[in-house]
Amino acid sequence: MLIISMEVYHLDKSNFTPKSMVEDVQNDFQFKERAVYNNYKSGLFDVILKDRQHAILPSDYSFFIISDSIAVLWNTNTINLPDDLRFNPGQFRAGKIAALKNGFYYIQSWPVKTGHPDSADYFAVSIIPIASQFPLENQYFKSGFVANENIPRGTEISDTPVTGAIPVFNLNNKPVFYLNFEQTTDEFFVANGWTWFVAILLCLFVVFWLHELCYGIGVKTQNPMLGFCALLIVVVPVSFLLKYIEYPGGFQNSTIFSPELYYPSEGIKSLGNFLISMLLQSWLFIYLVSYVPLKENISGLNKTIEKTLRLCFAVLILVFLYKYSISDISNLIIDSKISFETGNFFNLNFYTFVGIFTIAVITINFLVLLAIINKLLQGVVKQWYWKMLLLAGIALIVMYCLFGKEFKSLYVAVLIMTLLAFLLLSRFGLPLKKRKSYYDLSIATSTYVWFAILCSWVTIEIFYFNYSKELELRKLFARKQEQKDDGNTAFKFIGVMDDLQKDSLVCSYFADMQNKDKKDNVSNYINYVYLTDFFKKFNIDIYFYDKNRNPVLRKDTIDAIINRYSDSVSQTKFKDGLLDVESLAGGDFIYWYLSPYKFNNSDDTLGYIGFVISADKRYKRGDLRSFFDVNSNPTDRQYYDHYSYAIYHDKNLWTQYGDVVFPYHLSDTLNSNNARFIEGNQYNSVLLFPSARKEIIKVVYQRNIFTNIVSLFSYVLALLLLVSGSVFLIRYFIFYPGRIRSIYRNFTFTIRSKINITILVTVFLSLFIVGFITLSFLSNRYDDAQKKNLQGLLNSYSYYIRHYIEDNAVNLSKMKKPVLAPTYSDFSYSMNQLAQEQGADVNIYNINGRLIASSQLDLYKKGLLSRYMDRSVLLSMEQHNSNELLRTENIGKLHYQSIYAPLRDKNNQVVAYINIPYYASGKDFENEISNVIITLINVYTLVFFLSGLCAIFISNSIVRSFRLLIDQFRNIRLRHNEYIQWPYRDEIALLVNEYNSMMRKVETMATRLARTEREAAWRDIARQVAHEIKNPLTPMKLNIQYLQQAISANRPDIDKLAAKVAGVLIEQIENLNIIASEFSNFAKMPDAFAENISLHEALQTLVDLFQKNNDNIRLELTSTDKSLMVYIDKSYFIRIFTNLLQNAIQSIDEDKQGYIKVSYEQNDGNIVIIIEDNGGGIPKELQDKLFQPYFTTKSSGTGLGLPMTKNLIENSDGAIWFITKEDEGSQFFVRLPKGEPD
């Protein structure tokens, strides 16, 4: 496994070497260059120019045809042609690398033939993308190389060779550009998913191997603590080395090991290290609880000292839990950049689930340590309620010592969770499976309950701390919304003025300052082009002044007030800068910014520009262009995007923003300068935040607490099921295939398993199908609703624009240049104002597909979009005469809905094309689908979970019914059986009726059988008795006849002969007496009086007795526990083992050194006594007859000894069986009930 892991790692790393990455760039570049060259050689460029309407443009690269600095054909709307290329395309004939606003491209121009000698020159321009380089970075815009996104972003691209740079060659094997890698491979190499998977498998392999090794040490030494110490020797150094260890670069450079994601402490500097540390702790704790028994009483130790030590250890563990476990969870959620906001499905990422899993591990450690505390306290108090009270007292003392008098709700919740967990541990214990037990598909109810409790606690922990984090973020958000931000506002205006100093349009106004129309036009122009983003939350009025700071054209009240106030504040004639004018005009104005205007930063002051900034009280929707934001912390932005806020001055509304419409007058009050949270209901949470300027900022966060909790529970449940299932499969299928075979041999599909599987699979499949259909339906429905919405906006825009161009005599067909050029029209400003009012952007293209007006200049200024309409849309409009076209477009990774339509004049002629891009549609769609997905996940997870619970109860109830029948079958007797009463009319009732009917038949047949057996038994007994009596009667008869003959013959030794015959008769009469006694004993068992007997003493007495009378046989009693007792009648016990020992002695030949071993052991509440001899064994053909009455292998005997022994054992609730081998000996096993010690 180690070799495989190393090979996979090095193979993955080989793709990150500079040489390999340059090869990727070169292969991609040459592939596209070959496509360009083949298209040019085949005359495709000429064909495209001749047949512009129907020609198919290349798709492997970006393509333009330009003439007289104007693009006449193009196949992209993401690239703006640089001016030097448009005006002089010939300079790119040989091809060269160029840096545009949104990245690096290889540009080459090709002359195109039109077939007309007098026509203008046309050039085809091929643009091959090398690397994207966006002016901002967020989730939608990621800079990187086209051929390989793993190339470091700091890699420099140059067209000239530099030291260390690697050339990229074209098809002619000439260097085109150079890549200079500033970092080594080890500094930027990040392992891929397969490398991670193999590495994790290797770690699991090592963990399982070490686990088995430590367990084996404990088993072999019969001391589990040694196994735990061996594991401790391994784990503790590894945990210590986590502070200093450097992983291989491919793993160390991963985000999970980045301090930017999470930095717990100086010792553990990443989420990955923290998770490994928690897993090592969990491994130790679980091993300790599973394999190391904690005795309730420690022998040789004073009781008081023992209880004191137990209490001390319990206190130390509780201190560890409260000091570290709680803070670890809190820090992970609050201080990290991991998103735990489950209200939006698309906010979740891989690290969300890693964080959830880490918290689950911490919670498991918490429970395992509580289980250790439970075992410790068992030696202090026995009753569970006293343990609960003792633990509660210890916990309160520990909390007071750790946290002081500030007893927050968190600590109350932790105390309640501790006591509840302790109660469950006392009742059920931890659901740890025994090593020798086999798995089936049935789920124990206690395990199911524990799993639900674990998921619930993890959910509560995450929700509580994430809720606290959101409250703090809302306060921070409120601070950022304070209107009084002098430094930032001044900085923004300095940037604006730097741009204005270079604007020729603004400069031209100062040459003719008395032209009112021109003044209004320039004001609109500045508002439209420069006062964007940050300034949109204000109302800004622009004023112009001459060199002497006199107002131009008019001097209204505001001019006079501002001039007078600014001079009084500065104590001199105010020249430039930012002033706070909030106290003027009833507090409606916030800032006054005055700046001298010097074109191109010359020494001559042409005049002054003044900006009056006031609060904007209009309702404003959430920013539809939030994709422009650069997210320093993405998790913060997830909340900020859902906040709506209003600012109140003297309880009157100043400004508002977001999806909530705020009242003009604030009714809520603050009793102090502290922020106040108001939880109106589960959907709205309100923050009232006092600012430094005696304003109140009201921030509303709309969310559903119940949905968030349930969805979080669903994610936790799904994750833990997936992880536990994966670990189980990896462990048993990969590392222990032998166990799988054993499990397979012992595995059966029980009724419970079949019911569980059937219910769960049916529910899962039905939920999956319903979910798929629901999502498809809602997606189509959303598309239809979005289409209607855009159509409504399109009609509104078209109506307004049509009237505007008619009222203002605007000729859109003559507007060939876009708004980014110095030429500016009032039409563009009007479009911008309209977009602000409607909450949706708008673009206007001329009939040739070039942009002439837009409400969103930043997209074009930053190079995110080009000034050209998508060619496919333009062709569709021209060829098919479409009235509208709805399509999905994208900027970077942002996908959105966009609608196009032709704009017609009075004569129904197309004069322009209108485009409404709804940039928020992608986000809206994500929100809609996210809500649906979360709802489905919540409902389906709960249904699936409840289905599993129902499956367990249903299967248990069915199995319980069968178990009732099984118990009855076990107790079947020939007579006086109990009939089953079943109150329901179901299938079980049919089975019960058949059982009761069968019992009646059994009793009837048993009566007949008993009568028949009695008759047969009496016949058999009569025959056997006759046979046994006949044996001694024959010699008696012969001796009497012999005596009669001697008397008749008057033999002289008649007296001696009579005495001899009398002796024979007495001997045979004694035999008859013995036979009668044996039959009597077998026919009638004596009454039993069971009692507790010391097993060792009783056996030792019998062994000693038989040892005295048998010198050639060695009898030995071996024992491990002399305190064991058996519950049996003492006379029974003596007769049983006297008979068995006598049989063992008789089975050994006289000429053989005999050995009889007597031993015993415990087995499931019983005692098993083994009598082992080295006799001749029992032949196979006789083994089945051994316990039959009258059967014997001896030359003498009745054959009633072993049958009588078996009856005695069975009447004592025991059993007897044997194992024998011919010529080696036999083992007889006797199982008797275990007695209670005195």
Question: b/e map of 1133-1162 (b: 16 or more CB within 10 Å)?
Answer: bebbbeebbebbbebbeeeeebbbbbbbee
Q: Are strands 851-854 and 676-679 parallel, antiparallel or unpaired?
A: unpaired
In this structure, the answer to whether residues 624 and 642 fall within a common structural domain is: yes
In this structure, the answer to whether residues 1132 and 1199 fall within a common structural domain is: yes
Q: What is the domain count for the chain?
A: 6
Range from 659-673, 856-870, 939-953 carrying the lowest mean pLDDT: 939-953
In this structure, the answer to whether residues 97 and 166 fall within a common structural domain is: yes
Confidence band of 1007 (pLDDT split at 50, 70, 90): confident
In this structure, the answer to whether residues 882 and 1020 fall within a common structural domain is: no
| Overall average pLDDT of the 32-38 stretch | 92
What pLDDT is recorded for position 108?
92
Residue 628 lies in a domain: yes
Torsion of CA 810, 812, 814, 820, to 10 degrees: 100
Residue 779 lies in a domain: no
Given a cut of 80, whether residue 615 has pLDDT beyond it is no
In this structure, the answer to whether residues 647 and 695 fall within a common structural domain is: yes
pLDDT, tens digit (0-9, with 9 covering 90-100), for 753-796: 666 677 767 777 877 787 778 777 777 777 787 788 888 888 88
End of a domain among 675, 703, 731? 703
- What is the Cα–Cα distance from 1116 to 1107, expressed in whole angstroms? 9
In this structure, the answer to whether residues 89 and 177 fall within a common structural domain is: yes
Do the beta carbons of residue 1232 and residue 1222 sit within 8 Å? no
Range from 490-494, 558-562, 687-691, 1065-1069 carrying the lowest mean pLDDT: 558-562
| 1195: β partners | none
| 1097: β partners | none
What pLDDT is recorded for position 168?
93
In this structure, the answer to whether residues 566 and 636 fall within a common structural domain is: no
Tokens of 371: 């289980």
Do the beta carbons of residue 903 and residue 913 sit within 8 Å? yes
Of 748 and 706, the one with more pLDDT: 706
What pLDDT is recorded for position 317?
87
What pLDDT is recorded for position 744?
54
Q: What is the mean pLDDT of the chain?
A: 78
C-beta pairs of 84-90 under 8 Å, 24+ apart in sequence: 85/109, 85/125, 89/123, 89/125, 90/123
CATH of the domain at 599: 3.30.450
- What is the Cα–Cα distance from 247 to 70, expressed in whole angstroms? 56
Residue 489 lies in a domain: yes
Given a cut of 70, whether residue 735 has pLDDT beyond it is no
Do the beta carbons of residue 179 and residue 18 sit within 8 Å? yes
What pLDDT is recorded for position 1200?
60
Question: 1032: domain range?
Answer: 1004-1079
Residue 553 lies in a domain: yes
End of a domain among 884, 902, 922? 922
Close Cβ partners of 45 (under 8 Å, ≥ 6 residues apart): 39, 65, 110, 112, 124
| Overall average pLDDT of the 416-445 stretch | 65
Residue 1096 lies in a domain: yes
End of a domain among 1079, 1099, 1117? 1079
Do the beta carbons of residue 1061 and residue 1042 sit within 8 Å? yes
In this structure, the answer to whether residues 102 and 159 fall within a common structural domain is: yes
In this structure, the answer to whether residues 493 and 600 fall within a common structural domain is: yes
In this structure, the answer to whether residues 1138 and 1051 fall within a common structural domain is: no
Given a cut of 70, whether residue 249 has pLDDT beyond it is yes
Given a cut of 70, whether residue 408 has pLDDT beyond it is no
- What is the Cα–Cα distance from 923 to 786, expressed in whole angstroms? 12
Of 1202 and 792, the one with more pLDDT: 792
Tokens of 273: 């290290």
In this structure, the answer to whether residues 628 and 596 fall within a common structural domain is: no
Percent of the chain with pLDDT over 90: 6
Of 159 and 859, the one with more pLDDT: 159
pLDDT, tens digit (0-9, with 9 covering 90-100), for 317-340: 888 888 888 888 888 888 888 888
Tokens of 32: 């596209």
Residue 1177 sits at φ, ψ, to 5 deg, of: 80, 180
pLDDT, tens digit (0-9, with 9 covering 90-100), for 44-59: 888 888 877 767 778 8
- What is the Cα–Cα distance from 19 to 25, expressed in whole angstroms? 10
| 123: β partners | 66, 111
Range from 88-97, 386-395, 924-933, 1165-1174 carrying the lowest mean pLDDT: 924-933
The one-letter amino acid code at 576 reads D
Of 22 and 801, the one with more pLDDT: 22
In this structure, the answer to whether residues 555 and 692 fall within a common structural domain is: no
Residue 589 lies in a domain: yes
Given a cut of 70, whether residue 585 has pLDDT beyond it is no
Taking Cα atoms as reference points, which of 1123, 1135, 1129, 1066 lies closest to residue 1095?
1123
Of 164 and 991, the one with more pLDDT: 164
Token pair 């507007």 in the structure block, residue:
815
Residue 406 lies in a domain: no
Tokens of 37: 């060259």
- What is the Cα–Cα distance from 1071 to 114, expressed in whole angstroms? 140
What pLDDT is recorded for position 495?
80
Residue 379 lies in a domain: no
